[in-house]
Structure 1
Amino acid sequence: MHGAMRLAVWLLIGAGGVPLASHAAGSAPTASAPASSPAANGAPPTGLVRNANRADGTPATLRVFRPVGACAGAAILSPGAGGDQDALAWLGRALSQYGWLTIVMGHKESSRDSLRDRVRSGGLRDGLLSLTTDPAAYRDRLQDVGAALQWSRGRCQASPAVLVGHSMGAATALLEAGAKNNLKLDGADRFDAYIALSPQGPGPIFPDGAWHDLQKPMLMITGTRDAPLDGKWQSRTEPYADLPPGCHWLAVVDGATHFNFAGFGYGHGDIEARILPLIERFLDNVREHRCAVPGVPGGVKLDTK
């Protein structure tokens, strides 16, 4: 696939699962959402939309997936650039069924409208890079994180809280955890553990050695087809390599793409089925204050330290 087309498809699906109106000259026309996505069949994700005020007074939009029984903990989900509260619905539903109060944040300032505006003014690649390296966008995301966490504490008391992010959301989670960064941002480290889907290696956001001082339990997941815009998928394993010893896991899923972790793309159902048990075992460990290494399904390589 031509490079411009790959980037257009990444923007259409991998970043947030929503189509953009414009595309670069010479690239493929704008595509519709995959048939398996909620946007394609008109069915909204399950869960209720709620608003919570941020510290700056701006309302944060949240899609809330409530557990049926007692609350095992709160999972706050941060989608990638161009995503909104309807992104990561597959994980929101699954974790709520596992007993966790799950909240997907809308991230208005880095939603599809914001991404579309930047693409229109700067082109595909520059527009995406402009958003995903913008300190103001991450400040707003961290404000959303605080609002979602505060909202959850009023409904799931005395339980652990975990921040989960995909792509730009993974960067958000690592910034919150306290990773050193080039954006001059300080994370508050308000969570008991973190999960990063498609984390970023050293580059515009994180310098070498950014993760060396992170102590909280952390699960990082990538795939052998989860290549960033520039470089190879292996760069996504570098944050794990830099982590100190502790309850830190790295899962590499054979054949998984960047799209798959957002709940889209060919074979995403199989990828979800492979990583969900691993996420659930990680959450069990967080609740039980332990670090028992789980069995690993076929096609997944797990490193621990």
Structure 2
Amino acid sequence: MIRVHVPATSANCCIGFDSLGMALDWWATFQFEPSDELIITGCPKEYANEDNLVVQSFLKTCQHLKKEMPTFHLHIDSDIPFSRGLGSSSTCVVAGILACDAWFQAHLNKMEILEIATDIEGHPDNVAPCIFGKAVCSFMEEGKPRMMIIPCADYKCLAMIPDYPIVTNEARKVLPSTLEYKDAVSQVGHALCFLQALQVGNEMILAKSCVDHLHEPYRKKLIPDYDSIHEQCQEMDLAMWISGSGSTMLAISLDPTKLNQLQKDVETKLSIQCRQMPIASKGAWVDYE
């Protein structure tokens, strides 16, 4: 049996639109074992077929390796919610690639894995931290992903997960087509300070640097509870952002008492599900049984 463990992720990280992602210590597990036919368990019935993203990613990797697609029993054990901005699709993509690599003992390196995952996902901002862990900044150059791992101080994360999904394609429709020059300059400055504060543990600067001009001013309208949570986070000097395209919002802090207070308020006043976790120190990995 091949077992693949893949972390949830938070993309964009406020000021890193389509370029900065963070791995979360919240894991999905995917088990693969030989079978005479394709069997998929542990997911909704409508996904238990050959169009399953895990299966399609396995197939894509077989094509990359020039191998025949085997049949297997795939069991998915994940409570990472769909369409909430926590990288559920990226966990499936990375799981399929790593399982195929393990199945054929191909020994793909992590950059090869990232290239296949980016080709499937269309961008590296979620799959990169999924593969490498920690925080990862990335960009595309001539169709190839380029990335750097960002070491993180001992921040803890609070995911605040509303009970409604947001589809990424729909969230992209609300974005502007142009940006004023002064806003672009502001974005760069805030992003550079955010990265440094994330590494050295300067929580005050981290919170102050969470000022985005590219997506949050537009996507927050899709999340009715955003403004009240954002206002409380500002009062508490907490870094907070829309995770991916939403609807999840993520706050991070070095002080667990702050996150505990925010969680209590969000759960009692807004009835929003919350979950605390550290930043994942490593990316996806494989074990065998």
Larger Rg computed on CA atoms: 2
TM over 0.5: no
* Greater fraction strand: 2
**Relative CO higher for 1 or 2, CA cutoff 8 Å, sep ≥ 6?**
2
Instruction: Give TM-score, length-normalised by structure 1.
Output: 0.28
Instruction: Give TM-score, length-normalised by structure 2.
Output: 0.29
